[in-house]
Structure 1
Amino acid sequence: MKTVTKGEEVQIGNKIDKPKRRSNRNFIDRIPNKAWLGISLLVAIMFWTILSVLPSTSRSFPNVFLVAESIGTMIERGVFTKDFASSLISILSGFGLGFVLSLPIAILMAWYRPVRFIIEPWIQFIRNIPPLAYVPLVVISAGVGRTPQIIVITIATFLTMTITIYQGVRNIDQTLIKAARVLGAKDKDIFLRVIAPASLPFIMTAIRLGTAVALTSLIAAESTGASAGLGMRIRALSNTFESSPMLLYIIIIGIIGLIFEKLAKVLERRLTGWQDKVE
């Protein structure tokens, strides 16, 4: 009688019977990512429900059904679509201007020492000031309306994205730049063929951070005498203690942020697919 050790193949006639291998994946690893998303949402709703029934938090966190019903309430008032569109225009405009300004400034700071020594201290200084602090100055200079909103968001996103892109360009391997110079490359060629590809991951990170900053500065931006907007409406609802629509608008801002984050990740995968990443 032949003794079969673990992992050894057994031949029966013309067939080879291979021992069954136990899967190394446990139960948690077998759960797909989409299922985890559903589980996470379920846990959040359960936690929300608990907050809605506790006496100390029920006024601040009304239940899911009341918040969902508040969508119809805001639509009946004729402000829901107007608020959403107004905030979206301000966010996209401010972020776009911030990115257009931050990209060349960051590259100039990283490439030329005089520019870095002059601009970087002021960027670091202003970056630590909350947008609410300089909103009155923006209103005095630009008046009320959409213009000061865009200016505030532009300043906030510009500062964050400039520092991120600048650090990315500064961290490029100098060996690559020196090798390009040895091969006779000019500044233009070095920028297009070495700096731009190498700094692209940092630019994508700056975009993701910039969208987040644009949303977090929305309340400050829309405190400039805005007549519509998600941030403006949250402040107005807080004055009347309408917690259901106020929580609805807060959730909408979060959803917009998640959408921007997903779009940025898709763009990042397309442009930086060559980069090794740890999931």
Structure 2
Amino acid sequence: MNPGLLPSPLEVLQTFWSRLTQAGLLVDMLMSLQRVLAGLLLGMLAAVPIGFLIGWYKPVRRFIDPLINFFRALPPIALIPLVIVYLGIGELAKIVILFYASFFAAVIVMYEGMMQISPVYIRVARTLGATDLEIFLKVMVPMTVPHMLTALRVALGVGWATLVAAELVAAQRGLGAMIQNASAFFDLRTIYLGIICIGALALLMDVALRKISERLVSWQDKADS
């Protein structure tokens, strides 16, 4: 490989300091973080109730499951032309692309999680006289909390993976925009820096979510033991 095609760690570090102090790297990171979080939040708000709906009602599952499997197979980048036509090139268009990616990643995890819950819990609850609403609220919802958290982590990873595609929509700032602008000038150091920043932010957020998950589902570990 041509050594000129692989910048040294020192060169990347120098680019990091230069962009941090002169080119607004923090602004790019915050813009990307804001977009990912907005898409993630909206995606989870839609994925959780729809995941419950699919898992709880078989007629709904038969109708919606094929649609979800169809749309989740479509890469978000393929929708960019349509998003631009219908929503323009503003922030909404970028968030919609991230929402699309996060939603379909999370809803599958939610649905599969509900399917893995043992029917024994439901039968026991019915034997004790619980209504369908009580079974849903007191059995299904608590048992699905670990799957909600897993769906959140999966959606977060997919959101960061889709960031560069989302910022193809005429983004002026952001890590994806920084990578795209650098590629136009064959600025490999900045490209590597953008990739490292995306990976580092995704890793830090995943570690934080993992710690939160451990605290929230500690009751389940105690119950299993």
TM-score (norm: length of structure 1): 0.76
- Alignment match of 1:218 (pick from 163, 168, 183): 163
1:260 is matched with 205
Picking from 129, 138, 141, the partner of 1:193 is 138
Query: Can you list the C-alpha shifts for 1:151-175, whole angstroms capped at 9, x where unaligned?
Result: 0010111001001010111111111
* Cα distance, 1:275 vs structure 2: 3.9
Distance (whole Å) between structure 1 residues aligned to residue 115 and residue 7 of structure 2: 49
Greater per-residue helix proportion: 2
What residue ranges of structure 1 are gaps of 5+ in the alignment? 1-55
**1:227 match: secondary structure:** coil
**Aligned-pair distance for 1:57?**
4.9
Task: Report the counterpart of residue 148 of structure 1 in structure 2.
Answer: 93
Larger Rg: 1
| Higher-RCO chain (CA-CA 8 Å, sequence separation at least 6) | 2
**Aligned CA-pair RMSD:** 1.5
Which of the numbers 195, 205, 209 marks the counterpart of 2:154? Answer: 209
Of 83, 93, 99, 2:44 maps to 99
Residue of structure 1 in register with 2:117 after alignment = 172
* Residue of structure 2 aligned with 1:86, choices 13, 19, 31: 31
Change (3 A) 1:261 1:185: same
The more displaced of 66-75 and 124-133 is 66-75
* Residue 78 of structure 1: how far off its partner (Å): 3.0
1:77 CA drift (Å): 4.3
User: Structure 2 stretches of 5 or more lacking a match?
Assistant: none
CA positional deviation for 1:91: 0.3
Q: Is the contact between residue 110 and residue 166 of structure 1 (CA under 8 Å) also seen in structure 2? A: yes
Q: Give the equivalent residue in structure 2 for 1:159.
A: 104
* Alignment pair present for 1:129 and 2:97: no
- 209-218 or 183-192, larger mean C-alpha shift: 183-192
Q: 101-110 or 200-209: which moved more?
A: 200-209
SS of residue matched to 1:274: helix
C-alpha separation in 1, matches of 2:120 and 2:22? 62
In structure 2, distance between residues paired with 1:57 and 1:214? 33
- Whether the 8 Å CA contact 2:12–2:193 is kept in 1: the answer is yes
| Cα shift at 1:114 | 2.1
Q: Deviation per CA, 1:178-216: give whole Å up to 9, x if none.
A: 211222212222122111121122111111111100000
Shift of 1:276: 4.6
Alpha carbons of 1:274 and 1:59: their partners in 2 closer, same or farther (altered >3 Å)?
A: farther
Q: Which residue of 1 aligns with 2:17?
A: 72
Q: Cα gap change, 1:57/1:93 in structure 2, threshold over 3 Å: closer, same or farther?
A: farther
Q: Contact 1:145/1:227 (CA < 8 Å) preserved in 2?
A: no
> 1:217 aligns to what SS in structure 2?
helix
Aligned partner of residue 219 in structure 2, secondary structure: coil
Residue 53 of structure 2 aligns with which residue?
A: 108
**Contact 2:178–2:190 at 8 Å: present in 1 too?**
no
Structure 2 Cα separation of the partners of residues 210 and 109 of structure 1 = 18
- Count of aligned residue pairs for this structure pair: 222
